[in-house]
Amino acid sequence: MATPRLAIASISLAFLAVASPARADSIDGKWCSEDGRRIVIDGAMGLWGQAGLRLTGEYLRYTYLFAMPAGEPEAGQRVEMRFRRADQRIAVKIGDGEPKLWQKCPPEVS
């Protein structure tokens, strides 16, 4: 008959064996580029840049597509954002340009 301590230890070890750090599993979230651009994606709705321009795009779990908003150098061009599960970043392609990698924005300081 196993003692209560042995049972608790076994359960704890089993939990630790399957526990892993939380990882994103969709494109939703706050994303930042190396050159200071930002986007917040929440389903089909998005907020672009520091001014928070509202976007409506085509949303799939790992992809977000929209037209670059007015006031940006690439205004009107198609933007394709694809989530890369392997490294938890997104590949962002603006118009015919080469895709650039963006990462999750750091936590905001209050």
Residue 67 lies in a domain: yes
Q: Does residue 64 fall inside a structural domain?
A: yes
User: Residue 84: inside a domain, yes or no?
Assistant: yes
43 lies in some domain: yes
Q: What is the pLDDT of residues 23-41, one digit of tens each?
A: 568 999 999 999 999 999 9
Total domain count for the chain? 1
Residue 89 lies in a domain: yes
Tell me whether residue 42 is in a domain: yes
> Which uninterrupted H or E stretch holds 48?
strand 45-48
Q: Please give the residue range of the domain that contains residue 61.
A: 25-104
Q: What is the pLDDT of residues 72-92, one digit of tens each?
A: 999 999 999 999 999 999 999
Position 5 in a domain? no
Residue 104 CB partners (closer than 8 Å, separation 6+): 24, 29, 30, 31, 32, 88, 89
